[in-house]
Chains A and B, each alone.
Chain A
Amino acid sequence: MSTLILRTASNYLLPVLLVFSIFILLRGHYLPGGGFVGGLIAAIAFVLHAFANGLDDTKNLLRFHPGFLMPVGLALAFFSGLSPIFVDQAFMTGLWFPEPFPVIGNVGSALFFDIGVYLVVIGVTLTIIFTISESA
């Protein structure tokens, strides 16, 4: 399946798709999108790259096992939920910066929670697909 066209295209598609996935992640609070879909799109980007260039290439590109994204994401989601505790609010109360940031928009604890979901979904999907394709 590693044709020249696909291989060349995938090198350009990977960053585009990743940026797209982040776009989807960030717009999730106002428009269709969010961490779950964003994570799936990012995972698809890597899988496409792996199809074109072989699994080892993608792994080298990643430098670390995608499984490590799972604890990182879980921790991020957990601590974003925990953060209101420090300002005497209940667990998982939404906290927001008063002014919106340029490009990103409003930033709050829910965004970090969503980033956590995003990372976990990438980690889970890639771990499962990489493991299965290695053993198939």
Chain B
Amino acid sequence: MSTDSAPAPQSGVAEDVKQGQRVAVSALTTNLREYGLIIALIVIMLFFQYTTSGTLFKPVNLSNLVQQNSFIIVMALGMLLVIVAGYIDLSVGSVAGFIGALAAMMMVIWPLGIFSNPLVVSIVCLIVGGLIGAAQGYWIAYHRIPSFIVTLAGMLIFRGICQALLGGGSSVGPLPDSFKALSSGFIPDVIGPLVLIPPTVNAAGKTILGSGLTLHMTTIVLGLIAVLAYAYFGFRTRRKRERHGYEAEPFPLFVIKTLVGSALALFLVFQFASYRGLPVVLLVMGVLISLFVFVTKRMTIGRRIYAMGGNAKAAQLSGINTERLTLLVFINMGVLSALGGLIIAARLGQAVPAAGLGSELDVIAAVFIGGASAMGGVGQVIGAVVGGFIMGVMNNGMSIMGVNVDWQQVVKGLVLLGAVIFDVYNKNKA
């Protein structure tokens, strides 16, 4: 409806209060999807917790879940920007596979001397990933070749190079342990473990259930710091908004949100601490997620990407260099694909020709389940991350349940379709 006939706004306090309420409502509705998604994830987790008779939340399984799915989530961060910018990247699985092969060749086969050091190799691989992104982005940005076609070509090309590098069907390994730590390592326990309940042995010589609970204190401390920081910054932003008279959420909602979030986080931290501590890859992921949330929500470059995806011509005529921005988005995607490839190789302990095969579809699905629009301009980092975890939990849960891989695909497909239909339906209703 047109708003021309709306009464002219009245000045004064009354208007500010009214606006405050409106802002609150709009903040709630815009965040509803995010909350809904997180609730969906929790429901799915509880469902599998039940159907797997409690296996899902076991500390060892949680660690597995994170290690198995981290590469999807890392790549989903890049894919979110690509999709928000109005493009698609089909090559990420192949690039990941190629980078894994490259890393393995550099560390195991090629005589590079000190340059075969895992750290050096990782840095080189990330740079190569960026170059691949630049090569694809160049055609998309400056020659306006559709991204679907350029990256479809990239998908074929890099899978081919990956297989050629590995010499046909063979795998290359084993990779050094220090490299494998990227995926399967846990953060070193500098503070030392705390034995909560000493292991007790019963008469039959078996350890009594629930005893032997040892906590990795470094993980606990890091977790507490993270939760406190989360609450503190949330509160500070709120205070700042209040001072300017732009409060978004009602206070009770804010408190509930913060408490539930903190409780969940602390529960997970406790589970990790009682196993072997925080997986290294979870730390990497956490840092990246925070970075991308900041970039998309607070930085001008993030804002420009959304504007470009929403209306490229208008963005261009507002002084935004859309070509360069497109190139940057694809370079970023390339670097994250490379990181994904390193994580996959580190987890397998070797490079295999099929590494990352088909993962581009999981990554894209995660982003769309997370509420991004295929038309560009819409999507949230947290949404993509939760979308990735939903895919991961379903993989993990169904595997434990013993559901056939074929049927797992069917279920994942239905969930993707359902999530998008839900979105479209909601949008039309609004």
Are A and B bound to each other?
no
- Identify the B interface with A (CB < 8 A): none
